[in-house]
Amino acid sequence: MFSSDQISKAHFHLNCSIDQGTYFTWYTGVIEGRPYSIKIYTEYEEPYNDIAFLSARIAKEIPIAVAYLHTAFPRIIIHRDIKATNVFLDKNGTAKLSDLSSAITLPEGKSWIEEPVVGTFGYTDPAYFSTGILRAYSDVFSYGIFMYEIHFPASC
């Protein structure tokens, strides 16, 4: 992992081109004794292909985490705040769902609970938002919004 400052400095001190594609050039170097690679695009459409490929890994890993919360324990755990800023990639590029500070555990044997609305506006299930009734479906709705967000970013 490198800080944005380190990456910016590396960008201005590119010292070895290792591959030249039609739409990009790969550069390598060393930052504080650690090797790095930077892919610089010459066409704007090409990065979206890489992003789409990477988002497919995330699209498969996050629902596994959500299903685990919903089914692995005697009491259902509902995350309540699934969004891009709560998903991180580990050093192997595996998506991890984080920030369980809004999560709630349903009473054993129950599939819903009436609870004050918590979560990020726009990601919150409209049924939960309007009734205060929280179900596992609320996480499924938030995941759908998250998927829309990573496939159709606001800047496009």
Query: Are residues 36 and 113 both part of a single domain?
Result: no
Higher pLDDT, 18 or 95: 95
Query: Are residues 13 and 89 both part of a single domain?
Result: no
Query: Are residues 68 and 137 both part of a single domain?
Result: yes
Q: What amino acid is encoded at 109 in this protein?
A: G
Query: Are residues 35 and 73 both part of a single domain?
Result: no
Q: Domain count for the chain, please give it.
A: 2
Query: Are residues 29 and 95 both part of a single domain?
Result: no
* Host domain of residue 54: 47-151
Do the domain assignments include residue 35? yes
Distances (CA, A) of 151 to 40, 49, 156: 21, 11, 10
Q: Is 81 a catalytic residue?
A: yes
Catalytic residue among 19, 50, 81, 125: 81
Query: Are residues 77 and 140 both part of a single domain?
Result: yes
Distance CA 153, CA 81 (A): 18
Within a 10 A sphere around the Cβ of 151, how many other Cβ atoms?
A: 14
Contacts of 119 (CB under 8 A, 6+ apart): 80, 81, 102, 138, 142
Q: What is the pLDDT of residues 70-126, one digit of tens each?
A: 999 999 999 999 998 899 877 777 889 999 999 999 999 999 999 999 999 999 999
Q: ∠90-91-95 over CA atoms, to 5°?
A: 25
Query: Are residues 66 and 143 both part of a single domain?
Result: yes
